[in-house]
Amino acid sequence: MPRPRPLTPPSPRARQTTAADQRGSREADRAIKNGVSREADRATIEQRFAAVMEEFAAGGAWPGAVALSGGGDSVGLLHLIVRWAKKTKKTAPLALVVDHGLRPEAAREARGVVKAAQAMGLEAVLLRWHAPSTSGVEAAARQARYRLMGEALAKKKLTTLYVGHTEDDQAETFLLRLARGSGLDGLSAMRALAPWPVPGFAHLTVARPLLGFRREELRGWLTARKLNWLEDPMNADPRFARVKIRALAPALAEAGLSSGRIALAARHMAAAREALELVTAAVLERAVRPTPQDCPQPGLLLDPAALAAAPRELSLRALAALLQLVSGTSYRPRFAALERLHGQLVAGHFRGATLSGCAFRPAPANERLFGPATLKLTPEKRRWKGSV
């Protein structure tokens, strides 16, 4: 039987990308880092933004849509993108507005945001979500928002959604995850170009061109041009963890922990994460193969000895990547569960286990490419979601 080609599943929290995707992401990250300037001149903001957008466009991330909430960050993003598109003769963006229904006035405000975008000569789409009366509404709203916008992008045959995450959001996310005890991946900076955050939209990308810009300077730019935005009262609601973190910003800055410093730490973490992802890919090249093409149940074949031979952190990362590939999920399983499965796999005499919708079993005799200990990984349901 001919030996199948090696398989390199996507690294944790990342989708499988082409060389052009990777190059575009690196260029966009570099442009955003170069854009972290403290000059207050308003023209400089547009110049810096244009430099970032040229990098995104060169990587194939245009045309695209803008996630428009009506808040200062998204309104600033929309106006900057429209000016850049007109100046460079690019296609105008699509505006996507989501009515979460979380406040009585939300529907009226969403309609107003749509009309404002249309007054700029843009196509605007209003998407509605009916919030359940349960706890965890913040996380549920985020999931619903990306699902609705993903469906809208697919319908319009677009692949990139531009969001207004700023340097301040980068710093707040770092602190939120630090409070939860996150490791390297959680503390790493948000990517300039990132995979879609909910499953089912592997072909879509989230673009963040404002990561090198402060919230304050964006609002100053809007104010100077007499451009209005909405202030969502939920952004001042102390029930939300992000609001609590935001309230600490002045005291942290006074102590030397400004949003810029915190965002810089997150970028250092991201550089370390990228290095680990490269080494993890090398582990997967040694330890994993797809099943033969004539196999009645496709899946992945795993050499547990190669997994065990790698340093523990790399071995755990490789296992998480396999689970993500087969299950089609965007996130790694909980660490405690991942650690237990890893211990079983490398201990020997493994009989089988399931995690994250994936099943590990000893491979059939005719598929033991790595010898008698070869394991086979398949979805629990008989549907293959990965790509081999």
290 to each of 9, 125, 373, how far by Cα in Å?
10, 42, 16
| Alpha helices (runs of H) in the chain, residue ranges in sequence order | 19-34, 42-58, 72-88, 106-119, 137-155, 167-179, 184-187, 215-224, 241-247, 249-254, 259-287, 304-309, 312-327, 335-347
Residue 331 in this model has a pLDDT that exceeds 80: no
- Greatest Cα pair distance in the chain: 72
**Contact indicator for 238, 244 with CB cutoff of 8 Å:** yes
Confidence category of residue 104, pLDDT binned at 50, 70, 90: confident
SS3 353: strand
Amino acid making up residue 58: A
Tokens of 310: 């790698």
How many whole angstroms separate alpha carbon 54 and alpha carbon 88?
Answer: 9
Q: What strand order describes the sheet that includes 193-195?
A: 124-128, 94-99, 65-67, 160-162, 205-207, 193-195
Helix or strand run (H / E) with residue 67: strand 65-67
Q: What is the rounded average pLDDT of the residues 286-315?
A: 92
How many whole angstroms separate alpha carbon 306 and alpha carbon 168?
Answer: 42
| pLDDT at 135 (0 to 100) | 63
Calculate the CA 247 to chain-centre distance: 25
Per-residue pLDDT tens digits for 214-231 = 999 999 999 999 999 998
Q: What is the rounded average pLDDT of the residues 93-120?
A: 92
Q: What is the rounded average pLDDT of the residues 50-66?
A: 95
Better-scored residue on pLDDT, 109 or 102: 109
| pLDDT at 387 (0 to 100) | 37
**Contact indicator for 321, 10 with CB cutoff of 8 Å:** yes
User: For strand 288-290 and strand 358-362, is the pairing parallel, antiparallel, or unpaired?
Assistant: unpaired
Domain boundaries, the chain: 19-270, 291-379
Residue 388 in this model has a pLDDT that exceeds 90: no
Within 10 angstroms of residue 341's Cβ, the number of other Cβ atoms is 22
| pLDDT at 18 (0 to 100) | 38
Q: What is the rounded average pLDDT of the residues 227-249?
A: 85
SS3 89: coil
At the top level of CATH, the class of 19-270 is alpha beta
Residue 255 in this model has a pLDDT that exceeds 60: yes
How many whole angstroms separate alpha carbon 271 and alpha carbon 269?
Answer: 5
Q: What is the rounded average pLDDT of the residues 174-182?
A: 91
Q: Which of 5-14, 232-241, 317-326 has the highest mean pLDDT?
A: 317-326
| pLDDT at 225 (0 to 100) | 95
* 358 φψ region: left (φ > 0), alpha (ψ -120 to 50), beta (else): beta
SS3 140: helix
Taken as a whole, the chain contains a residue count of 388
